[in-house]
A and B are shown apart, each in its own frame.
Chain A
Amino acid sequence: MKTQLSVKSAALALLLVLAFVISWELYLRHQGVVTDYDDGPELWAHTREQVYEPSDKSIVFIGSSRIKYDLDIATWQGLTNKHAIQLAMVASSPRHILTNLANDPKFKGKLIIDVTEVLFFSNRGNASPDAGLAYYKERTPAQKLSFLIDKPIESRLAFLNNGKYAINAFIGEMHIPNRPMVYPFLDFPQGFGITLLNRQTKMSADFVTDTNKRNKVKAIWGLLKNDPTPPMSGKALDLVMQSVTRDVAKIKARGGDVVFTRTPSSGFFLMAENHMFPREAYWNRLLKETGCKGIYYADYPVMASLTCPEFSHLSPAGAITYTHTLVNILKHDKIWGL
Chain B
Amino acid sequence: MVFNSYTFVIFFAIILGLHNLPISWKAKKINLLIASYLFYAAWNPPFILLLWLSTVVDFFVGRALYTQPNKSKRHLLLIISLIGNLGMLCFFKYGGFILENFVTLSNAIGLNYHPAKPNIILPAGISFYTFTTLCYTIDMYKKKSKPVKSLLDFSLFVTFFPHLVAGPIVRPPQLVPQFETPRTATGQQLLNGLLLLTLGLFMKVVCADTLLASTSDIVFSSPGNMGPLDAWAGVLAFSGQIFFDFAGYSTSAIGVALCLGFILPQNFLYPYAAIGFSDFWRRWHITLSSWLRDYLYIPLGGNREGKFRAYINVMITMLIGGLWHGANWTFVAWGCLHGFYLWIEKALKDSRIKKPHLPDSIPLAPVIVTASFAPVLPGKSTGGFLYALFTFLLICVTWVFFRSATFAIAWRLLKSMAGQAPPAGPPLLTTAALLQVAIVVSLMLAFHWFMRDTTVLKTSAKLPWWLLGIVWALLLILIILSQGTSKSFIYFQF
Measured in the bound complex, the distance between the Cα atoms of B198 and A13 in whole Å is 11
Q: Is the CB of A5 within 8 A of B468?
A: yes
The yes or no answer to B99 lying at the interface (CB within 8 A) is no
Question: Chain B contacts of A177 at CB under 8 A?
Answer: 431
Q: Cβ of A224 < 8 Å from any Cβ of B? A: no
Cα–Cα distance between A15 and B473 once the two chains are bound (Å): 8
With a cutoff of 8 Å between Cβ atoms, the chain A residues found around residue B468 in the complex are 5-6, 9, 13
Could you tell me which residues of chain B, from 425 to 443, have a CB within 8 Å of some CB in chain A? 426-432, 435-436
CA distance A41 to B469 in the complex (A): 36
Q: A9-B468, A140-B1, A149-B10 are in contact. List 18 more A-B contacts (CB 8 A).
A: A5-B460, A7-B187, A11-B469, A12-B472, A13-B472, A17-B480, A140-B44, A142-B5, A142-B43, A142-B486, A143-B7, A145-B6, A166-B482, A166-B483, A167-B210, A170-B481, A183-B426, A184-B430
Give the docked Cα–Cα distance between A13 and B469 (Å): 5
Q: A20, B427: Cβ atoms under 8 Å?
A: no
Q: Chain A nearest CB: distance from B34 CB in Å?
A: 16
Please report the number of residue pairs spanning A and B whose Cβ atoms sit closer than 8 angstroms. Answer: 143
Assembled-state Cα–Cα distance A10/B206 (Å): 20
Among the listed stretches B12-20, B188-196, B336-344, which one makes contact with chain A, having 4 or more residues with CB under 8 Å of it? B188-196
Among candidates B206, B427, B461, residue contacting A5 with C-beta atoms closer than 8 Å: B461
| A3 CA / B458 CA spacing, docked (Å) | 7
Tell me the residues in window 101-133 of chain B with beta carbons closer than 8 Å to chain A beta carbons.
none
Distance, CA A4 to CA B473, complexed state (A) = 18
B42 partner residues in chain A, CB cutoff 8 A: 140-142, 145
Is A334 among interface residues, defined by CB-CB distance under 8 A?
Answer: no
**CB-CB contacts of A138-177 with B at 8 A, as 1s and 0s?**
0011110110011001000000111001111011101011
Knowing A171-B432, A179-B427, A182-B426, say if A5 contacts B211 (CB, 8 Å). Answer: no
Whether B45 is near chain A, meaning CB under 8 Å from some CB there, is: yes
List residues of chain A with CB within 8 A of the CB of B426: 180-183
Interface size class of A (residues with CB under 8 A): 35 or more
Interface size on B, residues (CB 8 A): 52
Enumerate 15 A-B pairs (CB-CB under 8 Å) in ascending A order: A5-B188, A10-B195, A16-B473, A17-B480, A141-B42, A141-B43, A142-B8, A142-B486, A153-B6, A160-B483, A166-B481, A167-B206, A167-B211, A167-B478, A168-B210
Tell me if A267 counts as interface (CB < 8 A to partner B). no
A144 and chain B: residue at smallest CB distance: B7
Is A8 in contact with B465, judged by CB distance below 8 angstroms?
A: yes
B41 interface contact, C-beta 8 A: yes
Does chain B have a CB within 8 A of A21?
yes
**B residues near A180, Cβ cutoff 8 Å:** 426-427
The residue in chain A whose Cβ has the minimal distance to the Cβ of B486 is A146
Residues of chain A from 1 to 55 with CB closer than 8 A to chain B in the complex = 1-17, 20-21, 38, 40-42
Is the CB of B406 closer than 8 A to any CB of chain A? Answer: no
Contacting pair A172 B432 (CB below 8 A): yes
Across-interface contacts of A170 in B (CB, < 8 A)? 481
Inter-chain contact A10/B430, CB cutoff 8 Å? no
CA distance A143 to B488 in the complex (A): 10
A178 at the interface (CB under 8 A from B): yes
Min Cβ gap A1→B in Å is 7
Determine whether A185 belongs to the interface, using a CB cutoff of 8 Å to chain B. yes
In the complex with contacts A176-B432, A177-B431, A13-B473 CB distance below 8 A:
yes
- Asked whether A142 lies within 8 Å of B465 as measured between CB atoms, the reply is no
Once the chains are docked, how many angstroms separate the CA of A4 from the CA of B468? Answer: 12
Closest CB of chain A to B231's CB: distance in Å?
14
Q: Which residue among B1, B44, B466, B480 has the maximum number of chain A CB atoms within 10 Å of its CB?
A: B480
Residues in A neighbouring B2, C-beta threshold 8 A: 142
CA of A60 to CA of B473 in the docked complex: distance in angstroms?
Answer: 45
A163 nearest in chain B by CB position: B483
Residue of A nearest to B429 (CB): A182
Residues of A contacting B480 with CB < 8 Å? Answer: 17, 21
